[in-house]
Structure 1
Amino acid sequence: MKILHIVTLHTPDHAFGGPTRVALNLSKVQRAGGDDARIMALGDGFEGPLPDEVEGVPVHLFRARHLLPMFEVSGITSGALLRTARRMMRGADLVHVHLMRDLVTLPAALLALASGTPLVVQTHGMVDPTEKRVAQLTDLLGVRKVLRGADAVLHLTEAERIDVNAVAAPVALTRTVRLVNGVRPQEFKPAREQGRPPTVLFLARIQERKRPQDFVAAMPTVLAEHPDARFVLAGPDTGALPGTLGLARGLGVLDALDHVGPLGHEEVLAAGREADVYVLPSIEEPLGVSVLEAMSVGTPAVITRTCGLGPDVARAGAGRVIDSRVGEDEDNARKVARAVLELLEPEANARAGRAAWELVNEHFTIGVVTDTLRRTYEDVVRRRAGRRLNRPVAPVT
Structure 2
Amino acid sequence: MRVVHVVTLVSDDGAYGGPTSVAAGQLEECAARGHEVTLVSLWRGRSPAPARLGSVPLRTRPARSLLPGRFTGLMHPLLVRDMWKAMGRADVVHIHAGRDLVSLAALAVAALRRKRFVAQTHGMVQPRRAVAVRLFDRVYVPLLRRARGCLVLTEHERRDVAQVIGAGGPPLVTLPNGVRPEHEGGAEQGRGEREVLFLARLHPRKRPDAFVEMAALVHRRMPDARFTLYGADEGMLPKVHRLIAAHELEAVVSYGGALAHAEAVRAYARAAVYVLPSVDEPFGMTVIEALRAGTPVVCTDTCGIADELAHRRAAVVTDGSPEDMADAVCGLLADAGKRAALAEAGRRAVTEVFSVHAVTDRLEAIYRRVSRPQSPPQGFLRPIG
**Matches of 1:224 and 1:71, distance apart in 2:** 40
- Judged with a 3 Å threshold, the aligned counterparts in structure 2 of structure 1 residues 283 and 195 are, in CA distance, closer, same or farther, namely closer
The amino acid that maps onto 1:231 is F
Counterpart of 2:173? Answer: 177
- Judged with a 3 Å threshold, the aligned counterparts in structure 2 of structure 1 residues 237 and 198 are, in CA distance, closer, same or farther, namely same
Contact persistence 2:369–2:375 (CA under 8 A): no
* 1:231 partner SS: strand
Counterpart of 1:211? Answer: 207
Matched, 1:351 2:333: no
**Matches of 2:128 and 2:98, distance apart in 1:** 13
Moved more, 131-140 or 12-21: 131-140
The amino acid that maps onto 2:363 is L
**Matches of 1:346 and 1:127, distance apart in 2:** 41
Counterpart of 1:395? Answer: none
The amino acid that maps onto 1:112 is A
- Judged with a 3 Å threshold, the aligned counterparts in structure 2 of structure 1 residues 190 and 107 are, in CA distance, closer, same or farther, namely closer
| Gap runs ≥5 in structure 2 | 378-385
Moved more, 130-139 or 339-348: 339-348
Summarize the alignment of residues 238-387 of structure 1 with structure 2, pairs less than 5 Å apart: 238-324=234-320, 332-344=321-333, 345-382=335-372, 384-386=373-375
The amino acid that maps onto 1:320 is V
Contact persistence 1:101–1:127 (CA under 8 A): yes
Deviation at 1:225, TM superposition (A): 2.2
Q: Deviations over 1:323-380 (max 9, x none)?
A: 23xxxxxxx2112111211222223222222111111111101101111100000011
Contact persistence 1:300–1:349 (CA under 8 A): yes
- Judged with a 3 Å threshold, the aligned counterparts in structure 2 of structure 1 residues 346 and 194 are, in CA distance, closer, same or farther, namely farther
Q: Deviations over 1:162-219 (max 9, x none)?
A: 11110011x2345221111111111234797999641111111122211111111111
| Gap runs ≥5 in structure 1 | 325-331, 389-397
* 2:14 partner SS: coil
Matched, 1:9 2:6: no
- Judged with a 3 Å threshold, the aligned counterparts in structure 2 of structure 1 residues 386 and 302 are, in CA distance, closer, same or farther, namely closer
Counterpart of 1:393? Answer: none
The amino acid that maps onto 1:160 is E
Contact persistence 2:59–2:82 (CA under 8 A): no
From 184, 187, 191, give the equivalent of 1:188: 184
Moved more, 230-239 or 302-311: 230-239
Counterpart of 2:383? Answer: none
* 2:125 partner SS: coil
User: Structure 1 or 2: larger helix share?
Assistant: 1
**Matches of 1:191 and 1:113, distance apart in 2:** 45
Deviation at 1:269, TM superposition (A): 2.3
The amino acid that maps onto 1:341 is C
Summarize the alignment of residues 215-226 of structure 1 with structure 2, pairs less than 5 Å apart: 215-226=211-222
- How many residue pairs match? The answer is 376
Contact persistence 1:318–1:356 (CA under 8 A): yes
Bigger radius of gyration: 1
The amino acid that maps onto 2:66 is L
**Matches of 1:197 and 1:298, distance apart in 2:** 13
Contact persistence 1:120–1:151 (CA under 8 A): yes
Q: Looking at both structures, which has the greater relative contact order when contacts are Cα pairs under 8 Å and sequence separation is at least 6?
A: 2
**Matches of 2:190 and 2:283, distance apart in 1:** 34
User: Could you tell me the TM-score, scaled by structure 2's length?
Assistant: 0.92
* 1:149 partner SS: coil
% identical aligned pairs? 38
The amino acid that maps onto 1:51 is P
Aligned-residue CA RMSD (Å)? 2.1
From 114, 117, 121, give the equivalent of 1:116: 114
The amino acid that maps onto 1:96 is H
Counterpart of 1:38? Answer: 38
Deviation at 1:44, TM superposition (A): 1.9
Matched, 1:159 2:156: yes
